[in-house]
Amino acid sequence: MKRRLRPGLILAYLVLGLVLLYTITPFLWMIFTSLKSDKEAVTIPPTLWPKEPTLEAYIQILLWGNFPIWFLNSTIISLGTALLSTAIGSFAGYGFSRFSFRGRATLIGIILSSQMLPGVLLVGPYFKMLSTVELYNTYPGLILAFTAITLPFSTWMLKGFIDSVPEELDDAALIDGCTPLGAYLKVILPLIAPGMVATIIFAFLLAWGDLLWVLVLTSGEKMTTVTLGLTRLVTQFRIIWPQLMAGSMIGALPPLILYLLLQNYLVEGLTAGAVKE
Amino acid sequence: MNTLRARSPSIHIPFRLAQGFLFVLPTLLVLLVVLGFPIAVAIINSFSLPDGGWTLENYAKLPRDGRFRNSLVVTFTFVAGTVLLHLVVGFIIALALNTQVRGKRLFRVIAILPWTVPDVISGLIWRFMYNPTAGIINRLLFDWGLIHKHIEWLGDSDLALPSVIFADVWRGYPFVMLILLAGLQAIPRELYEAAKVDGASTVQEFRFITVPSMRGMILISVALDTIWQFRRFGLVFNMTAGGPGNVTEILSLYVYKQYFRYFNFEYAAAVAVVLAIIMLLLSLPYVRAMVRRLS
């Protein structure tokens, strides 16, 4: 038995070793570059790790650049989108999970299909629409636009979490005289709280990483997000790579942290459902 | 997540009918405004002339537009290449993680990291890695004696698309790996034990147990990945912006440029509608299967 496993195991280590190299090299390159001076970053041949590590790039973008504003904008827009789409979507998730009504399958089909549309189909009309109602280059305008992407996904992710709660629980509440809304708020909501957090985080990540919408629906520095700000830096004539990589580092950090949090919540949400079955 | 269970027949059906619709209504209204309306506008635009009036010319122009045809080919190459490689790399890693190796949990966390990075930022990192003189890739290849002059990874029209694909494989394999790993762990051990008793080889086990058990997981991950890859924008925008020439100009970039660089709103809308139709047709089997499962 043991002898049979060994070659397979060696192969597994070999594969994982190669993948590890492929996976972490870009991260190391980003971190190392962010710690180099402007001059060292463009020496030929390039240094692998910083010879004279400096926090200059971080100080530059955090104290003298607009990066803090970009970060704030990204946070407001992503949080707004995540909360809005999760709040609205959870009601629909409950409706789809617990009730049968005419056109239910059709509606599920439409909501699912709407996730399959390309963003570029919408950006042109949005540009005109938001200009007409004077929401161009505003938080509400961007949050509405992002909701178009996140709401369908939030709806059916939440439906999944609600499905895992036994129907007997809200039936009991209904018999006790609760309205369906009351049953939803008092019984279901507390039980799917981890699922809701997971949904909020996923929607947040979708909005945080976007470039297309902010590129089209904003102008000037006032509404610039992290992704747009970094993109502008790279289209400049002289690219200052340490600053760009320092910005990338900080911009990539919230999704990274949230993902690690999400991992636990997801597992919790899933096992909670499985245990109750 | 979507557990199958027998539903008790509802006692108060008419009451539940109206209630259920009320719960769904806010989402429907919001989607109508933020999705339905702009889609309608896009379709109407695609049949319009710049100064008003109706036309089919925007669509008639498409087959004659060499840049559109090029963009179609680039898009399909990019999507097919990345989805296939995400699957291959993701599957291999999932298999390697499903053995008795040490440090599985830590490795799983590390392997997920690229997927958490916004694709815009991934594009920036890889762009600098590919930099001919100051990038790490040429430096390492030099050190190892594999090349003797600087390679213009993103500036060479033959290398640009493969280089972009290579970067996107880094970004996208973790998702497929996660799904497939969950699938692998769900395969009952007894199946393998029974196969061993019957004297099956490792290859046979893979062919007759692993792959068939994983069919659903593979299909779901490929379907989702395909859709996401058709929508990919930020990564390519920041790595090459479609260049050199138009060799990496995927359709989402082409539509964007038609809209906001050349201001051909009506023609851009027509290209976008075609892209939407391609994506809807490709996702139809997936949507159908999901609707059956969800309802």
pLDDT-derived band at B2 (thresholds 50, 70, 90) equals very low
Highest mean pLDDT (candidates A96-105, A258-267, B32-41, B104-113) = B32-41
Whether B47 is in a domain gets the answer no
CATH of the domain at B78: 1.10.3720.10
Per-residue pLDDT at B6: 40
pLDDT of A276 strictly over 60: no
**CA torsion, points B169, B174, B176, B180, in degrees to nearest 10?**
140
Given this model, what pLDDT does residue A5 score? 54
- How crowded is the C-beta side of A189, counted as CA atoms within 13 Å? 14
Q: Which ipTM was obtained for this model?
A: 0.87
Task: For chain B, report the end-to-end CA distance as a whole number of angstroms.
Answer: 14
pLDDT digits (tens, 9 = 90+) for B173-229: 988 888 888 888 878 888 888 888 888 888 888 888 888 888 878 888 888 889 889
Residue B221 lies in a domain: yes
Range(s) of the domain holding residue B280: 65-294
Averaged confidence pLDDT in chain B: 87
**Contact present, A27 and B115 (Cβ < 8 Å):** no
Residue A16's pLDDT band (boundaries 50, 70, 90)?
A: confident
Burial of B64 (0-12, 13-18, 19+ CB in 10 A): exposed
Instruction: Locate the chain A residue with the closest alpha carbon to B292.
Output: A105
- Would you say residue B32 lies in a domain? no
Residue B234 counted as domain residue: yes
> Residue B237 in contact with residue B253, Cβ under 8 Å?
yes
**Residue B23 covered by a domain:** no
Query: Per-residue pLDDT tens for A74-94?
Result: 999 999 999 999 999 999 988
Chain A neighbors of B256, CB-CB under 8 A: 120, 123, 212, 215-216
Give yes or no for B129 touching A (CB within 8 A).
yes
User: Domain A65-276 is in which class?
Assistant: mainly alpha
What residue ranges do the domains of chain A occupy?
A: 2-41, 65-276
Does residue A3 register a pLDDT over 60?
Answer: no
Asked if the structure places residue B116 within a domain, the reply is yes
Give Dmax over CA atoms of chain A in angstroms. Answer: 76
Over the stretch A89-110, which tens digit does the pLDDT of each residue have?
A: 999 988 888 888 778 888 888 8
- Per-residue pLDDT band at A230 (split at 50, 70, 90): very high
Best interface-test mutation with B: which of A32, A98, A99, A112 has the largest number of B CBs within 10 A? A99
Confidence band of A121 (pLDDT split at 50, 70, 90): very high
Peptide bond into A45 cis (omega under 30): yes
Sign of the alpha-carbon dihedral angle for A157, A163, A165, A171: positive
Name every chain B residue with its beta carbon within 8 A of the beta carbon of A71.
none
Q: What pLDDT score does A271 carry?
A: 34
- Distance CA(B272)–CA(B209), nearest Å, equals 42
Query: Cβ contact (<8 Å) for B252 and A212?
Result: yes
Confidence category of residue B172, pLDDT binned at 50, 70, 90: very high
Quickly count: other Cβ atoms within 10 Å of residue B244's Cβ.
Answer: 15
Cβ proximity of B223 and B107 under 8 Å? no
Would B216 be classed as within a structural domain?
yes
Q: How far is CA A137 from CA A134, A177, A180, A221, A224, in A?
A: 8, 47, 40, 10, 9
The pLDDT score that the predictor gives to residue A35 is: 93
pLDDT over threshold 90, residue B118: yes
B123-167: pLDDT as tens digits: 999 999 999 988 999 999 988 889 888 899 999 999 999 999 999
Is B45 a member of any domain? no
**How many structural domains comprise chain B?**
1
